[in-house]
Structure 1
Amino acid sequence: MIRRRFTLEDRATAIWPLVPFEVTPHEEAVEVELDFDRARGVVDLGCLGADASGEPTLWRGWSGGARSRFAITRDDATPGYLPGEVTAGTWAVVLGLHQLPSDGLEITVTIRTGASARIEEEPAAPTPVEAPRGSARGLPAAPGLRWVAGDFHAHTLHSDGALSIRQLTHLAAQEGLDVLAVTDHNTTSHHRHLPGVGAEYGVHLLPGQEVTTSRGHSNAFGDIGWIDFRTPADDWFSVVAARDGVASVNHPLSGDCSWQHPLSTHPGCLEVLHSTWLKDRTWTGPWALWPVWGLDAVPIGGSDFHSPARGDQLARPTTWLAVDEGALTNDRVLDALRLGRTAVSIGVRAAVLLRTDDELHAIDADGAVLIDIDGRSRILHGDHVRLRADVVGSSDGVPGAGRGPYRLETPDREILALCS
């Protein structure tokens, strides 16, 4: 048992302090419990394992504030943590001093090693369902491409979500998603489960991780290994690019989770529509941010789904991707993100605004208002309206839509959809 008192001065020096401990040879399990007065502070929890030289450099997982204990064995681990050899040497509990009282906080870490450890069982898996996917809408696409419906921000029991991967994927199938990015906080422990579960439920599960700090969150998409959230944000994005992944900045305007990291370069994608912003669909904050951030940012949306008990709705908003025809793969999804072949709507079956080369298509948007980045607007009439993108007036008898990006609103100025 290790007991320490952490103060605000400690937090100013190291927001993620290490609590080292020794693991002797031939141990089969490591189990850690964290205890502190949760009415007085918020402390996150993670773990570094010993490398071949016995130093604590190998990331073994993170549960943030979602758990007070974890266990790791060779073949299994608490969700959020990676199973594997319990290597002899120095390990370390990683603490995240998220919030401390002015007089400090006493923290107790209890470490046990031995032949066994208690690993939580996942809830029973629901039966796969047959439901039409967003791709079944047959939305107009450029030759060789097709539109699929995705949600690029969701959590499971591998971080602070309430559902198992199977439960979440079952819900994704019910909602009509073709693609779901599973983006648990600061961990990749869920990645190894995604291909099998996705195939079982008929939804392509894209590996992701939400790189999470108190100064902003970013998604890293792709099976690219763990991204060290303790390094500067510029480093996150350079590592993601070097490993052929795709990065986004999440909910850049969002209470105490707004983006505050200085950047010398921007990631490719920006979460310009987030579930919390749909609570007031007349709010124009994200639309105002986009041109300031950079109109070359690829727009995506995310539900940031955690739990149905708190009213979260998967696929709200929905990100549409124009992917190469054929079976969905990680590479095809990531390529669509890189190339900016995206659009965002408030739901899988809602009105949608799509761009196909030099044309704009408004589908199921009769009576809606189209607005371009310069504020020009027009009322749309019909279930499928075609306009010339980046053109004012008309050309070849097809009306011009103005200059993108574009947004679609109700007559009461509530957001319906947007695209570049």
Structure 2
Amino acid sequence: MRGHWSLDDRLDQILREVPFEVPAGARAVTVKLGFDRSRGVIDLGCGAPDGFRGWSGGARDEYTITQGWATPGYLPGPLEPGTWHVWLRLHRIPPEGLDYTLDVSFDAVEQPVTEAPPVGARPPRRDIPDVDGLRWYAGDFHSHTVHSDGSLTIEELAELAASRGLDFLTVTDHNTVSHHPWLAKVDRGITLLPGQEVTTDRGHANVFGDVGWVDFREPADSWVRHAAREGGLISINHPLGGDCAWLQPLTERPRIAEVWHSGWWDRKWGAPIAWAQAWRDDVIPIGASDFHRIGDDGLPGAPTTWVLAAEPGAVFEAVGAGRTSISAGPDAPLLLRMGDELLALDADGLVLVRPDGARQVIRGERVLVAADTGTHRLETYENEVIAICA
């Protein structure tokens, strides 16, 4: 199958569904997409008669789905005869248009073999007191694997995050939940939590929890309703993030937001703090490395989000209750709520900024000060943000 997409096609309808027929007795469904990547980008996915079967965006040009296994990003299962669809999202189409080819086949395909990474050492936990039977756990709410556009397998990612001293990691591959069934099977001394980064041209949002697939084709209000209906949470991702800044209209603004993303390189730039204050006065800040591959993004835990919870598996409940804090890394200066006090760790000489703007210098490496209602932060004398505490 050959075709051509124009810029007008993209502006008229960005996601196109190309139908094909799966015959009875098919051993596999393999789709191959061809186009000139130097001239444009076409995202790739799949819909079956009973709904969503996978998404890889621009990370892949080919996928296979069988009864027992599927390309990461796609869901294995019965190959129901009938009309399926190749999903093509016209992400970047130049003014002169873009030619493409599609090839669909149904022959058996051997499952690729992957090797598990070796088990490494885990650094010791920081000396942080419990609070009324709860513990501050270190983690990260945004990461990617080979199930979307990341370079590491789930086990490799878990090993890397555990070696950084994290207690939990939310795996949030783009527009898919194919990674969810594998998370609990990974035993690397870290709790892996399910998420999905709902990804569009007008903004990204993470939906947290095992709540099923969230349809990125629907308006953003439907994502919020889906998360609430299924008992999950939703956060606004990197709201000031260049070509993926948050531009989606919403009837109701979620409380949770990625106030500190790894792309916030110059933390003297106050726009993320100003955005959070304008978004909601009761915003729940979280941090996110948005890890894809070593060398391209922050490592898992850069920044680190600390959550006061009964156990790592109860992190989402604790985030919904607003018990979060963010530091630049697992061992960086930290500001934590301890009841009606704040504990400033390794923060000697930093400035505590209170919700009303009042400031005081922290003297000492382990200091307790009275807490107010609202978000506090630690800054340098040059107004560089060092830590945030909800």
Deviations 1:230-275 (A, max 9, x none): 1000100110110001110000001010000011112231000000
1:106-255 equivalences in 2 (<5 Å)? 106-114=99-107, 116-122=108-114, 124-132=115-123, 136-197=125-186, 200-255=187-242
SS in structure 2 of the partner of residue 172 of structure 1: helix
Structure 1 residue 4 corresponds to structure 2 residue 16: no
Which residue identity is paired with 1:214? Answer: D
Residue 13 of structure 1 and its aligned partner are, at CA, apart by 2.1
User: What is the match of residue 328 of structure 1?
Assistant: 312
More helix by share: 1
Q: Residues 67 and 78 of structure 2 are in contact (CA less than 8 Å); yes or no, is this contact kept in structure 1?
A: yes
Deviation at 1:118, TM superposition (A): 4.9
SS at match of 2:263: helix
CA contact (8 A) 2:137 2:312 kept: no
Q: Distance in 1 between matches of 2:47 and 2:109?
A: 18
Q: Which residue of the other structure, out of 359, 379, 394, is the alignment partner of 2:361?
A: 379
Corresponding residue of 1:411: 381
- 1:274 and 2:261 correspond: yes
1:119 Cα shift?
4.2
Q: Distance in 2 between matches of 1:406 and 1:264?
A: 28
Query: Structure 2: any 5+ residue segments left out of the alignment?
Result: none
Q: Does 1:259 align with 2:246?
A: yes
Aligned residue identity for 1:362: A
Distance 1:264 1:311 in 2: 32
Q: Is 1:61 aligned with 2:54?
A: yes
RMSD of the alignment, in Å?
1.3
Mapped to 2, the partners of 1:257 and 1:140 lie a distance apart of 38
Find the counterpart in structure 2 of residue 78 from structure 1.
Answer: 71
Conserved in 2, the CA contact under 8 Å of 1:73 and 1:84? Answer: yes
- The offset of 1:291, in angstroms, is 1.1
Alignment of 1:306-321 (within 5 A): 306-310=292-296, 312-321=298-307
Q: Which residue of 1 aligns with 2:286?
A: 300
Are the counterparts in 2 of residues 368 and 408 from structure 1 also a CA contact under 8 Å? Answer: yes
Name the residue aligned to 1:362.
344
Matched residues in 2 for 1:313 and 1:411: separation? 27
Task: Name segments (4+ residues, structure 1) moved above 6 Å.
Answer: none
Summarize deviations over 1:300-336 as a string: whole Å, max 9, x none.
0000001103253221000000001xx532xx11111
**1:16 matches 2:19:** no
Name the CA distance, whole Å, in 2 between partners of 1:311 and 1:336: 27
Report deviation, 1:229: 0.4
- Name the CA shift for 1:162/1:310 in 2 (closer, same or farther; >3 Å): same
In 2: Cα distance, 1:23 partner to 1:267 partner: 41
Between the aligned partners of 2:189 and 2:332, the Cα distance in structure 1 is: 22
Q: Contact 2:208 / 2:232 at 8 angstroms: preserved in 1? A: yes
SS at match of 1:4: strand
Please say if residues 15 and 88 of structure 2, whose CA atoms lie closer than 8 Å, have aligned partners that are also in contact.
Answer: yes
Instruction: State whether residues 47 and 84 of structure 2, in contact with CA within 8 Å, keep that contact through their aligned partners in structure 1.
Output: yes
Q: Say if 1:138 and 1:147, in contact at 8 Å, map to a contact too.
A: no
Contact 1:368/1:410 (<8 A) preserved: yes
Q: Return 298-307 or 368-377, whichever deviates more.
A: 368-377
Using structure 1 for the length normalisation, give the TM-score: 0.90
- Aligned-residue sequence identity (percent) comes to 49
Per-residue deviation, 1:217: 0.4
Summarize deviations over 1:26-47 as a string: whole Å, max 9, x none.
1120000001111111110000
Q: Distance in 1 between matches of 2:356 and 2:276?
A: 13
The one-letter amino acid paired with 1:132 is P
Is the contact between residue 72 and residue 117 of structure 1 (CA under 8 Å) also seen in structure 2? Answer: no
Question: SS of 1:287's equivalent?
Answer: helix
| The 10-residue stretch of structure 1 (229-238 or 377-386) with the greater mean CA deviation from structure 2 | 377-386
Q: Which moves more between the two structures, 347-356 or 211-220?
A: 347-356
Between the aligned partners of 2:206 and 2:266, the Cα distance in structure 1 is 24
d(CA) in 2 for partners of 1:389 and 1:376?
A: 12
CA distance in 2, matches of 1:44, 1:172: 29
Query: 1:92-103 alignment to 2 at 5 Å?
Result: 92-103=85-96
Is the Cα contact below 8 Å between 1:208 and 1:221 reproduced in 2? yes
Instruction: Give the deviation of 1:386 after TM superposition.
Output: 1.5
**Counterparts of 1:372 and 1:156, CA distance in 2:** 38
Determine which of 317, 327, 333 is the counterpart of 1:345: 327
Contact 2:74 2:178 in 1 (8 A): yes
